[in-house]
Chains A and B, each alone.
Chain A
Amino acid sequence: MANPKQHANWSPYDNNGGTCVAIAGTDYCVIAADTRMSTGYNILTRDYSKICKLADKCVLASSGFQADVKALQKVLSARHLIYQHQHNKQMSCPGMGQLLSNTLYYKRFFPYYAFNVLGGLDAEGKGCVFTYDAVGSYERVGYSTQGSGSSLIMPVLDNQLKSPSPLLLPAKDAVTPLSEAEAVDLVKDVFASAAERDIYTGDRVEIVIVNAAGIRREYVELRKD
């Protein structure tokens, strides 16, 4: 063949969009994500949950490539089952944070195209949020956002939550001073705003609240266009 044949090409990756937010408080953690799944200018479905409960006090929200996200969730759930069989208890949220990092880095040279925020309560019952890049670098923070609408949301969270500098010595707690109800309201506002400008965010936001009493879910409708 003299000239290369014109044909359909494929990529092993897709971006299915979506935005995730997590906010840690002194005794709670709010984890939220929209439920839209898109590809290009198409909306595939308006009701796909990006939030995965990994343990009683540990919830993962992920956006990016849906197939990779699902594979990642399944690997973590299976690893957590094995952990429970071996240790007769659930994994702690910081423990799951390290496991997620290792799992992502394990595929460093063919990465999971997944952008994660992990939220929950730590061993002391304090809210914790871990934020990641696709290949596993992570840090514990007081609040975070990932995914297609993150660039719209992050500055708002910075402005509203003002976390203390991580350079301070002695280290200051990164948890937000907000009450649980205030944090949930803030999450609703940032998603409504992101849905205005980001075409990959919309339809509905799923909000998961983790506190000493357990896990609670709320849904709020977003723009559908």
Chain B
Amino acid sequence: MFRNQYDTDVTTWSPAGRLFQVEYAMEAVKQGSAAIGLRSKTHVVLASVNKSNSDLSSHQRKIFKIDDHIGVAIAGLTADGRVLSRYLRSECINHSFTYEAPLPVGRLVVQLADKAQVCTQRSWKRPYGVGLLVAGLDESGAHLYYNCPSGNYFEYQAFAIGSRSQAAKTYLERKFENFPAASREDLIKDALFAIKETLQGEKLTSSICTVAVLGVGEPFCILDQKTIHEYIEALELKEEEAGDQGATMQEDPSSEAAPMEI
């Protein structure tokens, strides 16, 4: 059951200088269904795969609006994601109340990371088991951040988290140079392509994915199913034209990056 004798407690170091409980929390992110994000200079798009546990149940929401200028997509423990979303929302509301101006995204992300970090240093706490892709717009432009349970955060041009996210990452890495100048529509299409990569051959339908957009002059908004359906149909038409050259990427099992560096 146990990997070793140093992993029963978040505050206990292994002799190799690792915190296993924190690493396990990072694993929780990989168990969750995928979420991706990508940005241009003016827009950010978030997308997620929503799988329901049973045919009889509905799926859980994985993309949350935080404020008009910020939204998040989560992977991992959805319950933890909701708690953190509530925290982010209240921070935004408090900031607006005092300054009548939106909270800069980068600062919110640091506050969130600090909150996650505390849980890695208290014996009576457990790290959050959720990764958040934070999309936001402020006076310095559009941003995409990834916050992980360890308390680390990174800014990205495009990123993917959750199960089989490596396939999406590979797709995004292939395309990211076009993103800064991309239009809103192109970003959405690339988001759907990246999501498709994580499905490993399963058909992409509007019922198993959620897409949200945020941009200059456009408050954060989760697209409705009909709109997504239209985008997907447009993609399929395009794919048929292009023939069958877009072979699905295989996940690369050898890339075992040290968790703290993800």
Contact = CB atoms under 8 A, between A and B. Distances in A.
B65 interface: yes
B65 A74 contact: no
B65 to A, nearest CB: 7
B65 A78 contact: no
A216 interface: no
Nearest to A79: B93
A147 to B, nearest CB: 24
Nearest to A82: B93
Interface in B89-103: 89, 93, 96-97
Interface string B46-69: 000000000000000000010000
A85 B97 contact: no
Nearest to A74: B97
B97 A78 contact: yes
Interface in A72-92: 74, 78, 81-82, 85
Contacts of A78: 93, 96-97
Interface string B78-120: 0000000000010001001100000000000000000000000
Contacts of A82: 89, 93
Contacts of B96: 78
B63 to A, nearest CB: 13
Contacts of A85: 65, 89
Nearest to B93: A78
A95 B53 CA distance: 36
B142 to A, nearest CB: 22
A20 B93 CA distance: 28
A72 to B, nearest CB: 13
A78 B98 CA distance: 11
B88 to A, nearest CB: 10
Contacts of B93: 78, 81-82
A81 B96 CA distance: 11
A17 to B, nearest CB: 24
A85 B65 CA distance: 8
Interface in A29-79: 74, 78
Interface of B: 65, 89, 93, 96-97
Interface of A: 74, 78, 81-82, 85
- The 10 A-B pairs at the shortest CB distance, nearest first, are namely A78-B93, A85-B89, A78-B97, A81-B93, A74-B97, A82-B93, A85-B65, A78-B96, A82-B89, A81-B89
Given A74-B97, A85-B89, 8 more contacts: A78-B93, A78-B96, A78-B97, A81-B89, A81-B93, A82-B89, A82-B93, A85-B65
